[in-house]
Amino acid sequence: MAVEVVAGLLAGSLALLSDAAHMLTDAGAIALALVAARLAARPPRGRFTFGLGRAEILSAQINGAVLFVLAGVIALEGVRRLGSAPDVEGVVVLVVGVAGAAVNLGAAWA
């Protein structure tokens, strides 16, 4: 993820930056889901007589809202770049893309 951010900044690639941001939100969503699952597993007590089972739903809503905002930011930046397109270093984008595909294929076979 950090490699994609650095490469995206150096290459001027919105695609790499948006993919890195999406991976960051995926990692955050997994962490939030784990916390929510632990909260939901707690027994009912005190004010929460039915427990915290809705924590998982709240976690999903937060994840959806974050992805929605991220999509808006990426779309706005894309529209901004339509007016004044920056020079993108295609070789850097290609190398990082191929490396990312190789890592994904390796993870799929593991």
Per-residue pLDDT of the chain (110 residues; tens, 9 = 90+): 899 999 999 999 999 999 999 999 999 999 999 999 999 898 888 887 777 888 999 999 999 999 999 999 999 999 999 998 889 999 999 999 999 899 989 999 97
pTM above 0.85, yes or no: no
Distance CA 89, CA 11 (A): 5
User: CA angle, corner 49, sides to 43 and 50, nearest 5?
Assistant: 70
Q: Where are the domains of the chain?
A: 2-109
Query: CB neighbours (10 Å) of residue 60?
Result: 14
